[in-house]
Amino acid sequence: MAVIDPSAGTVFPTPGAQNYLPSQPAAGDLTDALLATDWWTDELVASAGIPIVDVPFVSVGGGIGSFVTADYLRIGGVDTSQIRILSALDHPWETYEYLTRVSQIPRGERLRSDSASRPDNIWGFPSYAVSEAWRSKNPATLWQVLVEPTFADFYTPKAGFVFEQIEREAKRIRYDEMLAKGLVRVVRRRAGGGYFTILTPPDGATATKRLAFRSQYVHLAVGYPGLRFLPDLQAYRTEHNDYQHVVNAYESHEHVYERLMTTPSTVLVRGGGIVASRVLQRLMDDRLLRGAQTTIVHLFRTFIDGPNDGTGSSTPHPFMKRKGADGWAYQGFNYPKSVWGGQLKAEMRKLEGAERAAKYKVMGGTNTPYRRYWQQQMNQGRQEGWYQLAIGTVDSMTPHHGRILNQLKTAQGVYPLEVDFVIDCTGLEADIAEHRLLKDLLDHGGAGRNPVGRLDVDRNFELKGTVSGNGVLYASGSSTLGGYFPGVDTFLGLQVAAQEIQADLAKRGFGKRIGTVRSTSQWLKWFSGKQI
């Protein structure tokens, strides 16, 4: 069974974490002397009885970010023996599939990124739309990418197809040979250059409790530092010991939909992003297609009803006008499209400090794609009265005859709302310091924070301040949001980072430059499915 790593401050479980949690004092553990020292010598590690494994490059996490980075390195000619991926996961898509499944994107549903965002293919060609058309012998998806977004919704791939293709690529690059199972406790700089990465393998897998990976390069792709509940919801859950009626979209909550199928009920949905859209679609599908009698109250904290930008201004600059209506801010992907290569990417690359933070704010803010199907459902729901909107916050929540009594604080005053279930779709991300490994890097590894408070990486995704002799520590993904490149926490963003990291490593002599000849020959291998 999966459990929640208590140190992670998160609502989603780490697979098998109970097997990694410290149990008894055992041989080869971290000592106080080690924990108190910023720069470790080989002798210090050896004296603690921790075995040392030498490998030039380790990637911590083993999710999508580690996968695309390993993919780039393998295509750049690095052998599997030179790379170790330290992870609790068996498959790179595992955490991602968990999060998408519970937030109502099961394998048959479509994700949010575009046709060329392909974690299994560094070229993004052929794109998913082309592959899907080829597979299904149906040109519909080709037509869709041709006319998107003007005459059709943006094409996005099905989750299941994405996972199958990552599986194919993982086999092709022999991902399993690089995988070392375990949770990473700390990364510390090594006196003399490089790093020690301390892994806690599953109980009983090794003779000692920890293993030390001694490497010149380290890459961190640990995903979300933690996804949290809204504090008021968490308080209600613990105070009333009710984990059934108040749920987070990022935890398994299928029981809610099951109850709704049998018992007419009212559900309060909180949040205005993609997850709220997906949860609403599930509720509305169940009502419209499967006969549930659910009434939905949708609470927006910020209600958007017209052109907007991320600062909440109702009169945004004519060049910074995002569409919005009925509470939602509409945007195809989680950033404006040009952050992945276009104008916004180029602009952000030059900004520092407060200016950068301000730019993030303008293009940020919660948003969701405008999908024609959702619009129809919501319109019908509004007309028939079973989809209601509320604007404001929740003052208090109390149990009331098996239901939950919310005091809604709105511009018109406080009024009571009784519901059967609350689904929190606000997707609050935890501070990076709540992640044990990242906190350790801030405290002992020389890492610092960027203008929006996350890990401060350079344009090559090197974690600033952590250099150790000839060694480099890189980071990508959500924990680095706020850097010179904005779209980090997306498939494409992870690939942008991987490309920079691979190029940087090739310059340092680790792997080869991927120029036209290598790129072309490697693409042909990818296309024919040849293992490398």
Partner 1 sequence: MLPTLNGRIQTRIFMLVVLGGLITLLITPVLPGDPGYSMTYTVLATVLVLGVGWELAYHGLMQWRWEKDWPTLFGLLNAINEGLLVWVLLELGVVPGLDSGVPLSTFLVMFLVIWVFIWIWTNGPMRIFNIRWRFFGGRLV
Ligand X SMILES: Cc1cc2nc3c(=O)[nH]c(=O)nc-3n(C[C@H](O)[C@H](O)[C@H](O)COP(=O)(O)OP(=O)(O)OC[C@H]3O[C@@H](n4cnc5c(N)ncnc54)[C@H](O)[C@@H]3O)c2cc1C
Residue 148 site contact among ligand X, partner 1, none (CB < 5 to 8 Å, cut-off depends on kind)? partner 1
Alpha-helix residue ranges (DSSP H) falling in 446-490: none
Buried b (16+ CB within 10 A) or exposed e, 56-79: bbbbbbbbbbbbbbbbbbbbbbbe
Touching partner 1, residues 136-195 (CB under 8 A): 145-151
Q: Which of 37, 396, 460, 499 binds partner 1 (CB under 8 A)?
A: 499
Residues 6+ apart with CB under 8 A from 377: 280, 281, 284, 285, 288
* Residue of 14, 44, 10 lying closest to 188 (CA atoms): 44
Query: Rounded distance, CA 7 to CA 21, Å?
Result: 10
Query: Rounded distance, CA 61 to CA 432, Å?
Result: 15
- Per CB under 6 A, residues contacting ligand X are 14, 60-65, 86-89, 95-96, 99-100, 103, 111-113, 117, 183-184, 221-223, 437, 477-478, 489-491, 494
Which lies closer to partner 1 via its Cβ, residue 61 or residue 369?
369
Query: Rounded distance, CA 488 to CA 338, Å?
Result: 13
Strand segments, DSSP code E, in 93-147 are none
Q: How far is the CB of 298 from partner 1 (least distance, A)?
A: 24
In this chain, which residue has its C-beta nearest to ligand X? 63
Residue 14 site contact among ligand X, partner 1, none (CB < 5 to 8 Å, cut-off depends on kind)? ligand X
* Residue of 217, 121, 210, 203 lying closest to 161 (CA atoms): 121
Q: Which of 233, 275, 404, 514 binds partner 1 (CB under 8 A)?
A: 514
Query: Rounded distance, CA 134 to CA 138, Å?
Result: 7
How distant, in Å, are the alpha carbons of 283, 409, 415 from that of 412?
A: 28, 8, 9
Residue 420 site contact among ligand X, partner 1, none (CB < 5 to 8 Å, cut-off depends on kind)? none
Residue 495 three-state SS: helix
Q: How far is the CB of 353 from ligand X (least distance, A)?
A: 25
Binding mask 96-125 for partner 1 (x = CB under 8 A): ------------------x-xx----xxxx
- Is residue 520 at the binding interface for partner 1, with CB under 8 A as the rule? yes
Q: How far is the CB of 113 from partner 1 (least distance, A)?
A: 10
Q: How far is the CB of 340 from partner 1 (least distance, A)?
A: 4
Residues 6+ apart with CB under 8 A from 14: 2, 3, 4, 5, 8, 20, 88, 183
- Is residue 353 at the binding interface for partner 1, with CB under 8 A as the rule? no
How distant, in Å, are the alpha carbons of 149, 156, 239, 436 from that of 225?
A: 33, 27, 25, 9
Residues in binding contact with partner 1, number by CB under 8 A:
45
Q: Which of 492, 494, 505, 506 binds partner 1 (CB under 8 A)?
A: 492
- Is residue 331 at the binding interface for partner 1, with CB under 8 A as the rule? yes
Query: Rounded distance, CA 96 to CA 422, Å?
Result: 24
Residues 6+ apart with CB under 8 A from 136: none
Which lies closer to partner 1 via its Cβ, residue 322 or residue 439?
322
Q: Residue 345: how many CB atoms within 10 A of its CB?
A: 17
Interacting stretch for partner 1, rule CB under 8 A, among 63-71, 203-211, 282-290, 312-320?
Answer: 312-320
Q: How far is the CB of 342 from partner 1 (least distance, A)?
A: 3
Residues 6+ apart with CB under 8 A from 412: none
Q: How far is the CB of 184 from ligand X (least distance, A)?
A: 4
Could you tell me the two tokens for 108?
A: 């048959």
Residue 126 site contact among partner 1, ligand X, none (CB < 5 to 8 Å, cut-off depends on kind)? partner 1
Q: Which of 101, 259, 301, 337 binds partner 1 (CB under 8 A)?
A: 337
How distant, in Å, are the alpha carbons of 56, 196, 343, 505 from that of 192?
A: 14, 11, 42, 19
Q: Are 438 and 222 in contact (CB under 8 A)?
A: yes
- Is residue 516 at the binding interface for partner 1, with CB under 8 A as the rule? yes
Q: Are 13 and 4 in contact (CB under 8 A)?
A: yes
Q: How far is the CB of 130 from partner 1 (least distance, A)?
A: 7
Q: How far is the CB of 330 from partner 1 (least distance, A)?
A: 9
DSSP state letter for 154: P
Residue 33 three-state SS: helix
Which lies closer to ligand X via its Cβ, residue 60 or residue 256?
60
Residue 514 site contact among partner 1, ligand X, none (CB < 5 to 8 Å, cut-off depends on kind)? partner 1
Q: Which of 336, 369, 482, 486 binds partner 1 (CB under 8 A)?
A: 336
Which lies closer to partner 1 via its Cβ, residue 155 or residue 196?
155
Residue 112 three-state SS: coil
- Is residue 361 at the binding interface for partner 1, with CB under 8 A as the rule? no
Q: How far is the CB of 246 from ligand X (least distance, A)?
A: 19
Which lies closer to ligand X via its Cβ, residue 223 or residue 307?
223
Interacting stretch for partner 1, rule CB under 8 A, among 81-89, 352-360, 440-448, 516-524?
Answer: 516-524
- Is residue 130 at the binding interface for partner 1, with CB under 8 A as the rule? yes
Q: How far is the CB of 460 from ligand X (least distance, A)?
A: 18
Q: How far is the CB of 320 from partner 1 (least distance, A)?
A: 7
Which lies closer to partner 1 via its Cβ, residue 183 or residue 505?
505
Name the residue with tokens 């293709």: 165
Residue ranges that bind partner 1, judged by CB under 8 A: 114, 116-117, 122-127, 130, 145-151, 318-323, 331-332, 336-338, 340-346, 492, 495-496, 499, 503, 514, 516, 519-520, 523
